[in-house]
Each structure stands twice: as C-alpha cells, then as structure tokens.
C-alpha cells in the first residue's frame, strides 16, 4: 500500500496480480466475472450490465451485508483492449439515472461524476493493474473509496486463482 497516493484530485492504486493480463482484463470486462469481485469485503454484486464500447454505458450494483443496494453508472470513454479502460463514474438509481451521493445517505461534497482509468501491464505470468480514480475529494470520502477499492481488489485476486 506504500505506493498508493490520495490527493484532492486522484486516488491511485497499483496492484500486481498472479494472473495473465488477458484474465485480469476479462475480470473487468465480463459481467459474470465482475460480479465475483465488485464491491468491498462482505458486499456482493447481484447485477452488472455493460455495453463495452466507447460511448457504451454500464450499470453496476453492489449489495451491502445488510441488503442495501448501491448502484453506479457511467460511460466508457476509452477502451484499448488489454491495455486501458477509461470510464465516468456516478452514483445511480436502479434504472441507471445519475443521483447525488445523498441518495444513499452520504454527506459531503462528492461530485456527480468522476473518472476512472484502469491500465493493464503484462509482466509475463503476472499483471500490473493501476487504477486512477479522478475527482475524489480528499478526506473521509477518499479514504473510504481507497478502502473499498482495495477490498474489491483483494476479492479480485481471489477470483483470479
């Protein structure tokens, strides 16, 4: 975790997985695979819809241990197969309509839209994946996002075994 960095603009998390770049890419681009790891520890993902093309939309759901569903949506801005995915990220309702964070009881100054960039680097039998989540405010929300992403990536590592 020493390589991680949070400032008022970008949360950056590099992670090395013991899996091929093709498999890590599939974990991000195949809805069935993504549902195995999306969301923090003890959360599940009951649904994941994506139209994986530039301009295509996605709608992801993560379910908390107490059964509350949290939706996120956005648009794919760049897809460079096996190398990079760039997409917008917003809270949403179950129909994919963008909603403020307050819809889920979150306080504070979270922007309606943020940007996520995920890069994939082939290291032979391993893959270096780097996530950059831009627009994340500093402070508690950034810290919670960092924790959530890291717990999700722990689940991703398990799903790749």
Residue 136 confidence (pLDDT): 81
Q: pLDDT tens-digit profile of 49-81?
A: 999 999 999 999 999 999 999 999 999 999 999
Please, which pLDDT band fits residue 38 given cuts at 50, 70 and 90?
A: very high
Number of residues that this document lists for the chain: 161
Measuring CA to CA, which residue among 46, 49, 48 is closest to residue 67? 46
- Residues facing 98 on adjacent strands: 92
More confidently predicted of 145 and 4: 145
- Averaged pLDDT score across all residues of the chain: 92
pTM of the model: 0.92
């Amino acid at each position: 975790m020493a390589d991680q960095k949070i400032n008022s603009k970008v949360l950056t998390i590099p992670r090395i997985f013991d899996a091929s770049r093709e498999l890590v890419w599939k974990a991000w681009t195949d809805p069935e695979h993504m549902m195995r790891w999306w969301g923090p520890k003890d959360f599940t993902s009951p649904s994941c819809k994506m139209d994986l093309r530039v301009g295509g939309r996605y709608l992801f759901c993560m379910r908390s241990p107490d059964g509350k569903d949290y939706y996120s949506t956005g648009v794919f801005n760049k897809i460079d197969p096996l190398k990079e995915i760039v997409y917008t990220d917003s809270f949403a309702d179950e129909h994919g309509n963008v909603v403020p964070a307050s819809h889920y009881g979150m306080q504070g100054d979270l922007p309606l839209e943020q940007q996520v960039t995920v890069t994939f680097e082939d290291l032979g039998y391993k893959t270096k994946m780097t996530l950059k989540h831009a627009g994340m405010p500093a402070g508690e929300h950034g810290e919670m996002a960092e924790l959530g992403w890291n717990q999700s990536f722990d689940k991703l590592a398990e799903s790749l075994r």
